[in-house]
């Protein structure tokens, strides 16, 4: 019994340190999650538009974009926007084309209507296949 008490005291005495490092660790964790959160907010890839806007964007993709790229996006006046066609093309470059168009070609800029995070979301959808 006495031995158990002794162990307990030792454990309690030791716990000051454990506590301290636990607190330190949780502070670090707090920092890490704040960082993750700010990255999530700052990174367009992670922020999907609200559901209603997603429906609008997909509608636009099929109709407006589809008028040149084909209703099923398999190509027409504009090239195919199907996953096989876009695979390997960097998202950033595709987002740029959607926002600013390709001057000297029929591909118009859409930045008056589509925001950067939305274009990024559309690129993800196109790469996945609708």
**Footprint on this chain of ligand HEC (rule: CB under 6 A):** 60-61, 64-65, 67-69, 77-79, 81, 85, 89, 94, 97-98, 102, 105-108, 110, 122
- Give the list of residues 6+ apart from residue 75 with CB closer than 8 angstroms, or none: 69, 81, 82, 85
Least distance to ligand HEC, CB of residue 73, Å = 9
7 versus 113: smaller Cβ distance to ligand HEC: 113
Entry field: residues in the chain: 130
Under DSSP, the state recorded for 46 is: G
Least distance to ligand HEC, CB of residue 87, Å = 10
Least distance to ligand HEC, CB of residue 116, Å = 13
42 versus 104: smaller Cβ distance to ligand HEC: 104
Residues 77, 66: Cα–Cα separation, whole Å: 10
41 versus 102: smaller Cβ distance to ligand HEC: 102
Question: Residue 7: how many CB atoms within 10 A of its CB?
Answer: 10
Q: Reduce the DSSP state of residue 29 to 3 states and report it.
A: helix
């Amino acid at each position: 019994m006495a031995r158990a008490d002794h162990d307990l005291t030792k454990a309690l005495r030791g716990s000051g340190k454990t506590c301290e490092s636990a607190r330190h660790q949780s502070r670090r964790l707090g920092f890490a999650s704040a960082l993750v959160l700010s990255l999530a907010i700052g990174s367009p890839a992670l922020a999907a538009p609200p559901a209603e806007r997603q429906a609008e964007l997909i509608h636009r993709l099929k109709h407006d974009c589809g008028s040149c790229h084909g209703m099923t996006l398999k190509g027409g006046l504009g090239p195919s926007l199907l996953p096989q066609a876009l695979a390997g093309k960097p998202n950033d470059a595709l987002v740029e084309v959607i926002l600013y168009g390709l001057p000297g070609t029929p591909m118009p800029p859409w930045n008056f209507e589509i925001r950067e995070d939305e274009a990024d979301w559309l690129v993800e959808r196109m790469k996945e296949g609708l």
